[in-house]
Amino acid sequence: CAQAQTHPNIMLTKANIAAVRKGVTLYPLLKGSYQDVKKEADRALTIPISVPLPKDGGGGASHEQHKRNYQNILACGVAYQITGDAKYATYVKNMLLQYAAQYEKWPLHPKRENSNPPGRMFWQILNDCVWQVNVIQGYDMVYDGIPAADRKTIETHLFAPIVKFIYDDNKETFDRLHNHGTWAVAAVGLTGYVLNKPEWVQMALKGTDKTGQVGFLAQVDELFSPDGYYTEGFYYQRYALLPFVIFAKAINQYEPKTQIFKYHNSILTKAVNIALQGTYSNGAFFPINDAMKDKTFESSELINAVDIAYADISPDKGLLDVAARQKKVIVSDAGLKVAKDLAAGLAKPFNYQPMWMTDGKKGDEGGIGILRWGEGNRQQAVLLKAAAQGMGHGHFDRLNMLYYDNGGEVFPDYGASRFINIETKNGGGYLPENTSWAKQTVAHNALVVDQTSNFKGNIKEASKYHPEFIAFKTTDKIQVVSAREDHAYPGVQMLRTTALIKVAELAKPLLIDVVKATSSANHQYDLPYWYKGTIIDASFKIEAVRDNLKALGKSSGYQHLWLNSENEVPANNGYVSVMQGQSFYTTCFASTTPIKVKLVSTGANDPNLSILESKAFMLSQPQATNQTFVTVTENHGQIDPVAETTSGAKSAVSSLSVVSSDDSKTVLTFKIKDKAYTITINYQDKNNFIQIN
């Protein structure tokens, strides 16, 4: 690279130091963020440096120490730049010299597992790459404070061997079009920039053979859909995004003419937006596929992404709103700009939008539909998952539907079965129940055919197919999304159409959900709605099992379900009312055939108590060829537990029925108070896809 070498020159740049130094005294968010970093740096200085021989797995002592070390290096780098105090640089120097004295002697990590290639510092090479991405940024910041001879030692005996370990010993990871590969190329590329090794940068950008078939640019081309969606889902999108954003920022810094943020139709810009659109209004990521459910856009990955997006890509004022809720910025050029504009009162509410986001490199492998209505914690959000399988972390939940309202989950997704960092729970890793339960179709608000999961739970089969997009429309009164899945169950076509519909009689939209199965053979069709709260009313008399509670099935997740009750539904319709938080959700249901309602809860065949308590009402058709389930869910009423007042405990919706349902349309009717409504879904007329009369 042609540019003269200056330090620092990634997140924090020499040209901007004076402004950032001033900014940490002026703008509250930057000030607070800097104080946190400085406190961390100062605390680090009070503790003897420890560079232990790597021996423990994730969460173990040596693992945690090496992790703390890179965090301390980064914090001291920032503290050095802002204060100019040599002690921070000396700390980093001393630590890195200790690493340099040992690193080359370390063998492959003893706790390596078969699933991921081992590092030398950590049990997975991935963590080694993350270490280097962080450390090289810290090194860049203290560069001028370390004597040249020590730099030589560190660069020769630590960074060069690490870089070689990554691109050479782990060529397969480095040249892989996968987010682990992105960490690898970011580690090598960033080190190349900082140490002025154009060779490393070239390999990072274009792969070890420098042809561009792999490497960072190819990853940017390949890893996101044209809309910016990452196929593993939002939880991993957040994680995958970080090395992209950091390395892109460095590329932008060192080689601005590449216009990396505009590369491939500004795909990185889109990916940041999609990561945010993949959250509910409380900031939590929609937990499709393997996902930890408490993760929000307050995570450090999105702090980086939001700051850089605002400062280096496009100053969308809605990002300032997110930054304010993140309560933190990176102490950096970007963080300065964000904090300054926030302090100037420029923030606007983040612009959540109903959208269809395609999946697949070409955007032709299904996608995710998101409906949104209302603002803040009154927002209703509905997600229809019609994306591709999403690799190994994907769940077998084709056409799964999630519903959020009043600040939280109404029809939730279980997420992953994992207790992160809890040693006693499989060392904090994914539990066996992630496979036996969380990934199974029945763990989702998704149609289950014949009590088996999609593709019989076979990931290879599942990865061959994706759902088909049918329709996505939004108007003032209707938001609707529809998709089809033909392969999850041989001989069964599944089609789901989900809509939010605003009617004059009600303050909030109704959730309409139409699930249609078509087959020439008889099948059992189960449609669970996982719910939060307590059932307080139903159209049928619930008679829950009093004793000798039995598991509902033997496999496909059914072995984990207690069958609490099984109710015949006399007419082909009925309702279930759930009290949740301070209001009620009544789901009216109707069917083209007589169905049962099964009330189920988790806990069967769970000897280690690994599955969290969850409950569902399941619409169940024991044997039919074609089957259409329709539900209308209304949020109603108000509970004030302090005043002990309750109003509106009865739903206004009644008389739901399916008038007809075939390949061309589904027609349903219901009443709101006395007013009759007819909804027609025209599967074959996309210009007139849904009608309300």
Instruction: Compute how many residues bind a copy of itself; rule: CB under 8 A.
Output: 54
Residue ranges of alpha helices (H) inside 379-517 are: 432-433, 459-464
Instruction: Give the span between the Cα atoms of 453 and 49, in whole angstroms.
Output: 51
What is the smallest separation between the CB atom of 425 and a copy of itself, expressed in angstroms?
6
CB–CB of 557/600 below 8 Å?
no
Least separation in angstroms between CB 433 and Zn ion: 12
Tokens of 362: 């070409």
Query: What is the rounded distance in angstroms from the CA atom of residue 588 to the CA atom of residue 617?
Result: 12
Distance in Å, CB of 420 to a copy of itself, minimum: 5
Strands 400-405 and 408-411: antiparallel
Q: Establish if 504 lies at the interface with a copy of itself (CB under 8 A).
A: no
Q: How far is the C-alpha of 573 from the C-alpha of 595, rounded, in Å?
A: 8
- For Zn ion, the closer CB: 44 or 447: 447
The residue among 435 and 638 lying less far from Zn ion, judged by its C-beta, is: 435
Spatial CB neighbours of 469, under 8 Å, sequence gap ≥ 6: 356, 358, 366, 367, 386, 483
Task: Name which position in 157, 295, 340, 439 contacts a copy of itself (CB under 8 A).
Answer: 295
Told to check if 507 binds a copy of itself by CB under 8 A, we report no
| CB closer to Zn ion out of 616 and 690 | 616
Q: Can you tell me which residue has the tokens 């996902």?
A: 291
End-to-end Cα distance, the chain: 65
- 465 catalytic? Reply is no
Give which of a copy of itself, Zn ion, none residue 606 binds (C-beta under 5 to 8 Å, depending on kind).
a copy of itself
Q: How far is the CB of 278 from a copy of itself (least distance, A)?
A: 15
| 647, two tokens | 């109003």
Residue at shortest CB range from Zn ion: 395
307 or 413: CB nearest Zn ion: 413
**475 contacts a copy of itself (rule: CB under 8 A):** no
- Residue 561 φ then ψ, to 5°: -100, 130
Residue 563's Cβ-side half-sphere holds a number of Cα atoms within 13 Å equal to 15
Among Zn ion, a copy of itself, none, the one that 425 touches (CB under a kind-dependent 5 to 8 A) is: a copy of itself
Please select the residue that binds a copy of itself; options are 546, 673, 687, 693, rule is CB under 8 A: 546
Mutual orientation of helices 333-343 and 300-308 as an angle, nearest 10°? 80
Mark 577-596 with x for binding to a copy of itself (rule: CB under 8 A) and - for no binding: x-x-----------------
Q: Does 607 bind a copy of itself (CB under 8 A)?
A: yes
Q: In a 10 Å sphere around its CB, with 0-12 CB exposed, 13-18 middle and 19+ buried, how is residue 146 labelled?
A: buried
Query: Which position among 520, 613, 673, 687 is part of the footprint of a copy of itself (CB under 8 A)?
Result: 613
How far apart are the C-alpha atoms of 66 and 455, rounded to whole Å? 41
Among 182, 605, 633, 680, which residue sits at the site for a copy of itself (rule: CB under 8 A)? 605
The DSSP code sequence of 439-472 is TSGGGSSS-EETTB-GGGG-HHHHHH---EEEEE
Of 26, 61, 346, 549, the residue at the interface with a copy of itself (CB under 8 A) is 549
Q: Three-state DSSP class for 285?
A: strand
Residue identified by tokens 């307050």 is: 298
Which residues from 93-152 bind a copy of itself, rule CB under 8 A?
none
In the complex, minimum distance from the CB of residue 59 to a copy of itself, in angstroms, rounded to a whole number: 7
Residue 12 burial by Cβ neighbours in a 10 Å radius (0-12, 13-18, 19+) = buried
Rule CB under 5 A: which of 168-197 touch Zn ion?
none
Residues 297-356 that bind a copy of itself (CB under 8 A): 298-300
Q: Which of 172, 222, 423, 663 binds a copy of itself (CB under 8 A)?
A: 423
Give Rg (Cα) of the chain.
Answer: 27
Return d(Cα 582, Cα 451) in angstroms, integer.
35
The pattern of x and - marking residues 625 through 664 that bind a copy of itself according to CB under 8 A reads: --------------x-xxxxxxx-xx--------------
Nearer to a copy of itself, 152 or 650 (CB): 650
296 part of the interface to a copy of itself, by CB under 8 A: yes
Interface residue with a copy of itself among 161, 360, 374, 428 (CB under 8 A) is 428
Site string for Zn ion, 408-447 (x = CB under 5 A): -----x----------------------------------
Q: What are phi and psi of 40, to 5 degrees?
A: -60, -45
For residue 306, which of 348, 283, 332, 276 has the smallest C-alpha distance? 276
| Structural tokens at position 72 | 């301390």
Both tokens of residue 289?
A: 């596929």
Q: In this structure, what DSSP letter does residue 174 have?
A: H
Catalytic member of 66, 157, 393, 444: 393
Contact criterion met (CB below 8 Å) for 273 and 283: no
Task: Tell whether the torsion through CA atoms of 113, 114, 115 and 116 is positive or negative.
Answer: positive
Q: Which of 45, 343, 535, 692 binds a copy of itself (CB under 8 A)?
A: 535
Contact between 360 and a copy of itself (CB under 8 A)? no
Which of 80, 230, 236, 525 is labelled catalytic? 236
Is residue 395 part of the contact set for Zn ion (CB under 5 A)? yes
Q: Among 537, 555, 652, 682, which residue sits at the site for a copy of itself (rule: CB under 8 A)?
A: 537
Binds 395, which of a copy of itself, Zn ion, none (CB < 5 to 8 A, cut-off by type)? Zn ion
Tell me: does residue 688 bind a copy of itself (CB under 8 A): no
Asked if residue 544 binds a copy of itself (CB under 8 A), the reply is yes
User: Which of 109, 69, 30 has its CA nearest to residue 311?
Assistant: 30
393 is a catalytic site residue: yes
Rounded-to-integer distance, Cα 152 and Cα 159, Å: 10
Q: Is position 673 an interface residue for a copy of itself (rule: CB under 8 A)? A: no
CA distance 440 to 453: 6
Positions touching a copy of itself (CB under 8 A) are: 59, 64, 292, 294-296, 298-300, 419-425, 428, 534-537, 542-544, 546-551, 562, 564, 577, 579, 599, 603-609, 612-613, 639, 641-647, 649-650
Q: Which residues are catalytic?
A: 236, 393
- Which residues bind to Zn ion, rule: CB under 5 A? 395, 413
